[in-house]
Structure 1
Amino acid sequence: MTRPAAPFVLVVEDEPKLASLVVDYLHASGFEAHHVADGRDVLAAIVERKPDIVLLDLMLPGRSGLEVFKDIRARADIPIVMVTALVEEVDRLIGLELGADDYVCKPFSPRELIARVKMVLRRAARAEPTATPGLTLDESRYEARLDGESLDLTPVEFRLLKMLASNPGRIFPRDTLLDGLYADHRVVADRTVDSHVKNLRRKLSRVRPEEDLVHSVYGVGYKLDI
């Protein structure tokens, strides 16, 4: 029986001793790992190595960790754990609001870091994947991103997009969409879905202004073309 490949971790850290320690612990815990020390080399390493998760130090030579973070998010849906000595609350909030999957402050226990890596990977594995290019949906956070940009959806808009994205090109009748929009199954007017679609279109168009991704089919319902 073929064993599944070990998860691959890209360690982005400019302190050689710390990076070596983290890589050693990762290897001992059954992970594959590769170390990058310069912020300018991260994207190339991601393209070449295709990691399952990135441990990203924020204080890097070449390019700042926040710049690298934004570039990664714009190009790939990879879990990212920020690792930094910046312990102020504002830095922590900035990191999480950008979409970091976790945040670890130095000094840290390598065992704790490994535990957090495993937790983030388990959470990512539970997230329902989408087959729509450029679109990622994280149901655990009710977070949707298109081409790396956050759509800032309400819970109802997220559920609407999730249904449409579950089968791109399929026409969903209004009744079917309404049944899945509200967690408490409240009774609402048929035209309510039209209002939510209008808001969803507006938010999608901020990212792709040249495209109309949600199409209405007269007398039937809506479909997502992406």
Structure 2
Amino acid sequence: MSPRNAVVHVVDDDLSMREAVSSLLRSFGLRVETYASAVDFLEHRVASPQEPECLVLDVRMPGLSGLELQRELQSSPRPLPIVFITAHGDIPMTVRAMKAGAMEFLPKPFRDEDLLAAIEASLERSRLALQENESLQVLRDRYTSLTPREREVLVLLAQGLRNKQTADRLGISEVTVKVHRHNLMEKMQASSVPLLISMIERLRNALGELPDTAGRGNSLDAG
């Protein structure tokens, strides 16, 4: 089963369902938080930034529905993997939920094994997302430790310019370019130029632009 430090949030207006699901999950050592409505979840959920999390969510509830809560959470910096459960599911509803990123859509009554498998897959996705976020933060910290000149050299290096071309573009000596290149690769902990470029592309793809310690965006497309 999934890591014992994981958190499963169960949102269902049916008290008996909340109790049954939470009892099952706790028997596997999982921490469970229960909520009687989507609004209750939004108002009282305590995020666990360092722990895998997922959401077991009823579709039809008074007030805010499960699908509406799913839409609310999509704008979150760290969207929760969702397992939908419902006694009223239909194909169009299932399609909408899955297209919006739901992990699973289980009609009631469902087998314990199916719910457990869906939760395990959801927590694994959450765990991998946490790892990716931590890895990106490490890269971001390394990048922002570069001096402005080192970042300029890096941009031109990523564009394929040689040391001499970079020196001419920046108006500095080739020896100085080599020093900056050595320093920036050491700070980025990159053993080769292709690895360095892959790190920067990964940062740019994740953040939209490269972080800049002076408060300005930076881009590998800069001329």
When normalised by structure 2's length, the TM-score is 0.58
Q: Which residue of 2 aligns with 1:119?
A: 121
Counterpart pick for 1:129 among 126, 129, 132: 132
Change (3 A) 1:33 1:214: same
Q: Which residue of 2 aligns with 1:103?
A: 105
CA distance in 1, matches of 2:11, 2:218: 39
**More strand by proportion, 1 or 2?**
1
CA distance in 2, matches of 1:44, 1:9: 16
Q: Which residue of 1 aligns with 2:17?
A: 18
The structural deviation recorded for 1:57 is 0.9
CA distance in 1, matches of 2:71, 2:140: 24
Which contiguous aligned blocks of 4+ residues in structure 1 show a shift greater than 3 angstroms? 47-51, 164-172, 174-177, 216-219
**More helix by proportion, 1 or 2?**
2
Change (3 A) 1:116 1:130: same
Q: Which residue of 1 aligns with 2:182?
A: none
SS in 2 for 1:47: coil
Q: Determine what percentage of the aligned residue pairs are the same residue.
A: 25
Q: Which structure has the higher relative contact order (CA within 8 Å, separation 6+)?
A: 2
Q: Which residue of 2 aligns with 1:8?
A: 7
Equivalent residue pairs, number: 163
CA distance in 2, matches of 1:5, 1:109: 22
SS in 2 for 1:130: helix
Per-residue CA shift, 1:34-70, capped at 9, x if unaligned? 1101121111232366671111111112211112112
Structure 2 stretches lacking a partner, 5+ long: 145-150, 161-193, 210-215
Say which one has the larger Rg. Answer: 2
CA distance in 1, matches of 2:91, 2:120: 25
Work out whether residues 42 and 68 of structure 1, in 8 Å CA contact, stay in contact via their aligned partners in 2: no
Q: Which residue of 1 aligns with 2:147?
A: none
Q: CA RMSD in A?
A: 3.8
Determine whether 1:94 maps to 2:96: yes
1:99-178 equivalent positions in 2, closer than 5 A: 99-127=101-129, 129-130=132-133, 171=154, 173-174=158-159, 176=194
Structure 1 stretches lacking a partner, 5+ long: 134-163, 181-192, 206-211, 220-226
SS in 1 for 2:74: helix
Q: Which residue of 2 aligns with 1:56?
A: 57
The structural deviation recorded for 1:165 is 7.6
When normalised by structure 1's length, the TM-score is 0.57
